[in-house]
Amino acid sequence: MNLFQSAISRFLVFFITVFSCAALASCGSMFSKEPPGPVYDIRSTVVLSGPKVPPVVLSGVGDRVNKAINATVRTEVYPRVVLTIRILQVDRDQGYDKSQTSAKVTVDAASVDDGTVIAVSSFTVLSRSNNADASDEILAENISARIRSIFTLSAGSE
């Protein structure tokens, strides 16, 4: 009986070791560094929206992205572009506790040289706030953070 238990425990240790190694190897691929996307030298930005988007969101996104553009230093020559940020829709009072706000955003990067659009990004941003006064500022920061991430911009100083 002792020999049988010993064989089972050895098999279990071997199986767990192999399974753990396989799990770690698959997790390693999740953290692999993807090659960076194209980088642009952003010269300015314009923020547009429909009539139902709060002005605080528009000005907040514009101010934050412009600060990030001014804070970003490029050491190499990249295509010069102008960003057009369109906040297509803002939906408030979502979620089970009515504290979630979402915004659908499209960003176009147009060449400074000839005006052709060379990059487009569309995304939805979610934010959460129980304070109605701060929800627009939080949404503006979340949209700006996503744009900074997509276009590799510095955070800028507040």
pLDDT tens-digit map of 34-68: 556 678 888 899 999 988 888 899 999 999 999 99
Q: Rounded to two decimals, what is the model's pTM? A: 0.74
Q: CA 142, 147, 148: angle at the middle one, nearest 5?
A: 95
Would you call 80 helix, strand, or coil by DSSP?
strand
- Using one digit for the tens of pLDDT, what is the confidence trace for 80-106? 999 999 999 888 876 677 778 889 999
Contact (CB, 8 A) for 107 and 117? no
